[in-house]
Amino acid sequence: MIDYHNMKSNNVLIIGAGIAGLTAGIYAQKSGFNVTIYESHHISGGNCTSWRRKGYLFEGGLHWLTGSSTDQMLNKVWRETGVLTDGKRITHTDPFLVCDWQGQQICLYRDVMKLAAHFNAVSPEDKPRIRALCRDIVRFTGFNIPVMDIGGLKVEKKAPITIGKIFTMLPSLLRIGALSKLTVAEYAARFKHPAIRLLLSSVITPEFDAVSLLATLGCFASGDGGYIEGGSLALAANMAKCFEDLGGRICCGKKAEKVQVKDGKACGLIVGGMEIPGDAVIAASDTLAAIDNLFDPPLREKWTLAMRANTNQRGALLMCTFIGIGVETDLSGSPEHAVFTVKNPFEYAGKNITELGYKHYAEFSGYAPKGCTAITIILIGDTYDYWKQAREQGHYDKCKKELIDHILTALEEQLPAIKGKAAVWDIATPLTYERYCGTFHGSWMTVTPPGAKRLTYAYKSRQIGNLYFAGQRIMPPGGTPVAVSTGRTAAQYLCRDFGVVFKS
């Protein structure tokens, strides 16, 4: 029997040490390839990242991990890639989200029975809709993101979907058709109580279809969706360690400038003006940016044109402005994740801000100096042109200061304990994500309009041999589950094309 771990004859070059790139690298390295990852940033993780400012850690990526429960098929993948290890602490905050409404705390509980009783007490007139909501949540407790093997692949150990898994997923599959025609906002608008509407539309992006909302709530109710100890940085660091322990190499601060092609095949990269030879290339950076910038001429295939056309639709690219605030007070005991209506709405980038959500990390060790708390706020919306214009006109820092003044005013009214206690703040705009993560216009997910088909794009080029793709754009909407899944699949196409046994 061939020992593929010792073979290491084929050199694979991966662009991007985000979750997709690290996943592809781990599985390719396990399967006998010699893998090097080139990452433009100085750390691994891509969009799954956090950063420190004056002793405060701002969680910039992970809020929950789908697949943290052993009942999920993704759990096996997270374990194979080094993310979940025995003894790793998983936190399930309950209630997941709280709304302060006219002096009353209205809670979105993970437990379905507790949620039903609470919502019914808050809004008896919504009982029929609450009953329907809870039925939908229960249906989606069996929902699983499938982990399968591609056809024609030699595998060391197969990953089939069992009849049992199909049976548990059936109730959710029967609801997907109807729910996919509604946005989260439209699903929430069915409720008469404004606080329930606000809670439901604040779980995830309101523009997503309602399937995403119910899949998320079902994930929580099933005991999945926990926050792993250390968050984004720990997740990425664990994967990087797993990859390097296998013999892989990560070159941070090294931006891939072009994919080299010879005789119709990818044969290397240009990095820092130097030619790096390779037998195959996996582009695990943002695919939208990659197809335009990494090829000369730009890569134009049927699937890339479809991706560009779909993401050119207004609102298709999901962007955010991320705000981190460090306050010199301990918020332990107060709701960890909350949403509230702003007493004095303000304008930001042409939009009237009437609600704000925040998350604090007072209960997590290492996120702030003793007795202090790190707070994060995310404003969803396409503000790329607003910030680009501000930078070009020299108003970038001024616009940041104006925004943080509005945010602090609203937050101090909601949380009087932090008034005058802000020690540090930081704002990451779409331009920040574009600069550090290389994402197209700083977007980090893709919205599929309600009723539209969720498209999965090509994992390998049709024109260029030995060229593969992975990452958030390949399978909308994106996120860590998509990143790890597409990275694994890209590695499988690589193995199949080279006649190598895929090892997990």
Query: In the prediction, which pLDDT does 2 show?
Result: 36
Query: In the prediction, which pLDDT does 160 show?
Result: 76
Q: Are residues 362 and 430 in the same domain?
A: yes
Query: In the prediction, which pLDDT does 386 show?
Result: 97
Q: Are residues 258 and 289 in the same domain?
A: yes
Looking at the predicted structure, is the pLDDT value of residue 4 above 70? no
Tens digits of per-residue pLDDT, 308-342?
988 887 678 999 999 999 999 999 999 999 999 99
Q: Are residues 257 and 238 in the same domain?
A: yes
Tens digits of per-residue pLDDT, 111-144?
999 999 999 999 999 999 999 999 999 999 999 8
C-alpha distances in Å from residue 55, one per residue of 24, 59, 357, 423, 427: 33, 13, 23, 10, 16
Residues 451-472: what's their mean pLDDT?
A: 92
Q: In one letter, which amino acid is 461?
A: S
Start-to-end CA span in the chain (Å): 17
Q: Which of 189, 204, 222 is the last residue of a domain?
A: 222
Q: Are residues 326 and 435 in the same domain?
A: yes
459 falls within a domain: yes
Backbone dihedral angles phi then psi of residue 282, each to the nearest 5 degrees: -115, 115
Tens digits of per-residue pLDDT, 359-405?
999 999 999 999 999 999 999 999 999 999 999 999 999 999 999 99
Looking at the predicted structure, is the pLDDT value of residue 215 above 80? yes
Tens digits of per-residue pLDDT, 225-260?
999 999 999 999 999 999 999 999 999 999 999 999
100 falls within a domain: no
Name 218's Cβ contacts closer than 8 Å, sequence gap at least 6.
136, 137, 138, 139, 140, 141, 142, 143, 172
Q: Are residues 246 and 200 in the same domain?
A: no
Q: Which of 193, 222, 251 is the last residue of a domain?
A: 222
Q: Are residues 116 and 166 in the same domain?
A: yes
Q: Are residues 329 and 304 in the same domain?
A: no
Q: Are residues 194 and 173 in the same domain?
A: yes
Question: 72-81, 345-354, 441-450: which has the minimum mean pLDDT?
Answer: 441-450
91 falls within a domain: no
Q: Are residues 170 and 214 in the same domain?
A: yes
Q: Which of 222, 253, 273 is the last residue of a domain?
A: 222
Looking at the predicted structure, is the pLDDT value of residue 5 above 70? no
251 falls within a domain: yes
User: Are 65 and 43 spatial neighbours (Cβ–Cβ below 8 Å)?
Assistant: no
Tens digits of per-residue pLDDT, 274-288?
999 999 999 999 999
Q: In one letter, which amino acid is 405?
A: D
Looking at the predicted structure, is the pLDDT value of residue 1 above 50? no
69 falls within a domain: no
Query: In the prediction, which pLDDT does 396 show?
Result: 98
**Residue-number span of the structural domain to which 479 is assigned:** 4-52+230-315+448-498
Tokens representing residue 271 in the block = 């990095």
77 falls within a domain: no
Tens digits of per-residue pLDDT, 401-418?
999 999 999 999 999 999
d(CA 431, CA 321): 9
HEC assignment per residue over 283-334: ECCCHHHHHHHCCCCCCCCHHHHHHHHHHCCCCCEECEEEEEEEECCCCCCC
C-alpha distances in Å from residue 458, one per residue of 146, 283, 301, 306, 471: 18, 12, 10, 11, 11
260 strand-pairing partners:
268
Q: What sections of 395-429 are H helices per DSSP?
A: 396-414
Angle (CA) 68-70-71 rounded to 5° is 110
344 falls within a domain: yes
**What is the pLDDT confidence band of residue 8, given thresholds at 50, 70 and 90?**
low
Q: What is the mean pLDDT of the chain?
A: 94
Q: Are residues 202 and 110 in the same domain?
A: yes
Q: Are residues 417 and 333 in the same domain?
A: yes
Q: Are residues 344 and 407 in the same domain?
A: yes
Domain count, the chain: 3
Looking at the predicted structure, is the pLDDT value of residue 95 above 50? yes
CATH number at residue 247: 3.50.50.60
Looking at the predicted structure, is the pLDDT value of residue 3 above 80? no
d(CA 243, CA 35): 9
Query: In the prediction, which pLDDT does 6 show?
Result: 45
39 falls within a domain: yes
Q: Which residue has the higher pLDDT, 316 or 83?
A: 83
Residues 497-504: what's their mean pLDDT?
A: 96
Q: Which residue has the higher pLDDT, 449 or 294?
A: 294
